[in-house]
């Protein structure tokens, strides 16, 4: 069985408000993107496809893949305007995969434990995603901001990555999505599989440290978290 990771780093990082795309900003002297590639490199994963901006492909090859010796990164491909375009380019670049582990390059604190959990779950369920139960009570509001519903907290999860699928399932789901005339708004891969197939997606426990670097304050949090990892990196 061939396990392939697609690491996404083609976003513009508009919420970070930085001139340098957030995946290349540094945490403790290393680029955000370094950390998840390190975990993939040291894991059971057979191959990594790195998806980045068209004008960042050369930079990624020399300054990240070669510089840190990531031998499992076999391809650096250009992504697209939306996250789902980037995922699709990644899927096209690994057609021989049995299982694909789609991961946000902006989530540096993935771990071997999360990867092992992901593998066990995808082998059992064919479709799964990292997540954690929410800590806050979540409200559904109307368009004017008034609370209309309060879902039972124990059943509400925040979804993270990796999101992991049997290649055939996720490829079919994306082919179907991209062929639609009026595409629904999709923000992650579980939504694509939920909407386009009948396969249920299992959520498995990851970690509250598996944050996505999204806004400037996340970098401060990341500097704290990285101290706990110093024995690994």
Q: Closer CB to ligand CTP, residue 161 or residue 166?
A: 161
The owner of tokens 């925040």 is 158
SS3 state at 26:
strand
Smallest distance from the beta carbon of 156 to ligand CTP, in angstroms? 20
Do the Cβ atoms of 132 and 205 come closer than 8 Å?
A: yes
Smallest distance from the beta carbon of 152 to ligand CTP, in angstroms? 28
Q: Closer CB to ligand CTP, residue 43 or residue 160?
A: 160
Q: Closer CB to ligand CTP, residue 125 or residue 157?
A: 157
Interacting residues toward ligand CTP by CB under 6 A: 8-15, 23, 51, 79-83, 85-86, 104-106, 212, 214
Smallest distance from the beta carbon of 211 to ligand CTP, in angstroms? 11
Q: Which of 189, 208, 195 is nearest to 127 (CA)?
A: 189
Do the Cβ atoms of 21 and 30 come closer than 8 Å?
A: no
**Phi (first) and psi of residue 69, to 5 degrees:** 65, 45
DSSP state of 137: -
Q: Closer CB to ligand CTP, residue 23 or residue 163?
A: 23
Q: CB-based burial of residue 145 (10 Å sphere; 0-12 exposed, 13-18 middle, 19+ buried)?
A: exposed
Smallest distance from the beta carbon of 80 to ligand CTP, in angstroms? 6
d(CA 52, CA 79): 5
Pairing mode, strands 157-166 and 127-133:
antiparallel
Smallest distance from the beta carbon of 93 to ligand CTP, in angstroms? 13
Q: Closer CB to ligand CTP, residue 18 or residue 228?
A: 18
Smallest distance from the beta carbon of 147 to ligand CTP, in angstroms? 26
Q: Closer CB to ligand CTP, residue 81 or residue 147?
A: 81
Q: Extract the tokens encoding 97.
A: 């995969």
Q: Is the peptide bond before 162 cis (omega within 30 degrees of 0)?
A: yes
Residue number with the smallest Cβ distance to ligand CTP: 11
**Within 10 Å of residue 187's Cβ, how many Cβ atoms?**
11
């Amino acid at each position: 069985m061939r396990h392939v990771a697609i690491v996404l780093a083609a976003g513009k990082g508009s919420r970070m408000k930085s001139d340098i795309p957030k995946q290349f900003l540094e945490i403790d002297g290393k680029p955000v993107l370094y950390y998840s590639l390190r975990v993939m490199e040291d894991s059971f994963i057979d191959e990594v496809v790195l998806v980045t901006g068209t004008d960042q492909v050369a930079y990624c090859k020399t300054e990240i893949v070669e510089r840190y010796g990531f031998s499992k990164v076999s391809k650096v491909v250009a992504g697209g305007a939306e996250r789902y375009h980037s995922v699709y380019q990644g899927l096209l670049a690994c057609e021989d995969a049995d299982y694909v582990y789609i991961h946000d390059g902006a989530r540096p604190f993935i771990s071997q434990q999360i990867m092992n959990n992901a593998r066990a779950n995808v082998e059992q369920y064919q479709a799964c995603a990292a997540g954690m139960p929410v800590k806050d009570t979540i409200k559904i509001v109307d368009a004017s901001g008034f609370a209309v519903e309060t879902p039972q907290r124990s059943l509400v999860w925040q979804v993270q990555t990796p999101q992991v699928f049997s290649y055939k399932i996720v490829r079919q789901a994306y082919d179907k999505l991209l062929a639609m005339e009026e595409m629904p708004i999709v923000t992650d891969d579980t939504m694509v599989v939920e909407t386009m197939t009948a396969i249920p997606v299992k959520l498995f426990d990851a970690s509250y440290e598996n944050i996505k670097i999204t806004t400037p304050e996340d970098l401060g949090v990341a500097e704290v978290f990285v101290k706990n990892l110093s024995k690994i990196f």
